[in-house]
Structure 1
Amino acid sequence: MSHDDFAFEPVKGLPEAPPKGEHILWQGRPDWWRLSVEALSLPWVAGYFGVLAAWRFGTLMDQMTLIGAFAAASPLLIMGAVVCGMLMIVGFVQARATVYTITNRRVAMRIGAALTVTLNLPYSQLARADLKPGKRGTGTIALDLLGETRLGYLVCWPHVRPWVMRRTQPALRCIPDAARVAQILAEAAETRVATPRITRMTTPRAMAAE
């Protein structure tokens, strides 16, 4: 029997139902493979173990047979395969636990596999959004926050702009069809910021007649 760890959510990806007048424009999650490659440095880890194995093979090939040298280097390849497999599992779990939501009023990010956190970022708190295109239509949209708004880098990782730690920039990492999502975000933010806020004015009580 299937089990949904987030069945308690009234709306997928949001801690509570949107208020009246707010509606969802887009929802999505990272591409798990691109997240493993870009955020978890999968190619670099694989290359590191490959270089170690090649170095060990090269240093031993003149001291024993080629088969013996390969056998001596193979544990490094096996270790590298295990580590890369673990990184891919982490990338898959992180992607499955993540839901990015764009509404007509805010960006919401439900992130975290072990400890789930939901970030609510109204458009009034965003200075700008930067799109970094990736491969096969994927990309990352980093959100620069206004004023004194501060977020912890480690709390948001890997859903952040890499290596920007002084002012953490939360990011929609490795999302498919990133250019279209960036356009949706830009139009929603422009509309929201340009819409004047209407507040109810209270009429002072009439002054007593003199």
Structure 2
Amino acid sequence: MSEYDHEPIRGLPGDLPAGESILWQGSPDWRTFARSALHTRWVSGYFAVLALFGLASGKLFGAGAAVVGGAITQGLLAVFAIAVAKTTVYTITNRRVVLRIGVALNKCVNLPLAMIGSADLRPQGGGHGDIALTLTGRHRLGFAMLWPHARPWRLGQPSPMLRALPDAAAVAKVLAKACSAVVPNEAAALRSKAVPVRDHGLQGAAA
């Protein structure tokens, strides 16, 4: 029995309302996530420089410590990336985008399609990529709550991000088609609603 057995539908906090259907579901690729979100290449470079500096200075112990430290750090980042990939489910329906995120504390963020002003695709190589969502209107989605599923350096106006998606271009097309299908009167109604955020037994609101 797992902590997600309570989900009536994988990745969703409840059953789908009448007329709503799932268009796509997926999770981050952990290797791409580690490289793009956790910057493992930069971390490796940092410890490599420390090791080379130690060797150049004749400090073999320091060089060895840098190598060991780098290996431990990379291992911890890999474990975290795997945990994120296993616990994250992104869902696109014909009405909303849902992010089921959180390694230690699971939560679902519901984003009505009408609140998505734009979606920016950032390729990461090998067909993988990130999709950053810019929301219209006011909301109370915090950067810390979304991280690492948030666009970097957008602390004042956090942008949810679908990270390290396999076949990201195809996912972007699904999202674009879904957003374009939202009719104007439905869009106006959805923009006036809150964006609910649900934890295990806890409920908040982002409006």
Once the two structures are superposed, what CA deviation does each residue of 1:58-102 show, in whole Å capped at 9, x if it has no partner? 011xxxxxxxx5455212101110011000100110111000000
Contact 2:121 2:131 (8 Å CA) reproduced:
yes
1:176 to 155, 166, 173: 166
**Which SS does the other structure have where 1:188 is aligned?**
helix
Separation in 1, partners of 2:71, 2:56: 20
Structure 2 vs 1, CA of residues 194 and 147 (structure 1 numbering), >3 Å: closer, same or farther?
A: closer
Give, in whole Å, the separation in 1 of the partners of 2:62 and 2:96.
Answer: 56
Could you say which residue in structure 1 is the equivalent of 2:50?
52
CA shift for structure 1 position 45 = 1.0
Q: Map residues 20-99 of structure 1 onto 2, 5 A cutoff.
A: 20-60=18-58, 70=60, 72-99=62-89
1:149 to partner: Cα distance: 1.6
Matched residues, number: 188
What TM-score, normalized by structure 2, do the two folds share? 0.87
Code of the aligned partner of 1:44 = W
Per-residue Cα deviation, 1:151-204 (whole angstroms, up to 9, x for no partner): 10011001011111111000101100000000000001101235768x9xxxxx
What 5-or-longer segments of structure 1 have no aligned partner? 61-68, 200-210
Distance 2:18 2:50 in 1: 59
Q: Deviation digits for residues 31-61 of structure 1, max 9, x if unmatched?
A: 101111111111111111110010010011x
Listed as ranges, the gaps of 5+ residues in structure 2 are 190-207
For 1:97 and 1:106, the matched residues in 2 are separated by 20
Counterpart Cα distance in 1 of 2:103 and 2:186: 38
Deviation at 1:117, TM superposition (A): 1.3
Q: What percentage of aligned pairs have identical amino acids?
A: 44
- Distance across 1 between alignment mates of 2:102 and 2:186: 35
